[in-house]
Structure 1
């Protein structure tokens, strides 16, 4: 996913993923209100949105510094 430990690079990637997540949200809501929408396409968009949510959570976790025990 991301090879760099650079916080700036992680933040840029995080912003890109959040933007894609929002775009998918709009696409999903638009597709779901259409009569006769494609269920398979809707499921794929929702699955991708969940993958993005997981990736965002991992990157947010990577930005939090480890605390010594």
Structure 2
């Protein structure tokens, strides 16, 4: 009876380790796919947003917006 208990404990620990490893790689693949579909904001996007709002941004304004966005992260 004692051997079966130890086997059960070993199987549970192995299942947890394998599940954690599989979860890590699945989450990593999902996140890479998400970033490919929804890239982070870059300077070109900021320029386009300002143009859509009716403003012609200078390079200084674009860099200020980028630096403020990077500070928030």
- TM-score when scaled to structure 2? 0.40
Instruction: Determine which structure has more spread, i.e. the larger CA radius of gyration.
Output: 2
Higher RCO structure (Cα 8 Å, ≥6 apart): 1
TM-score for the superposition, normalised by structure 1: 0.42
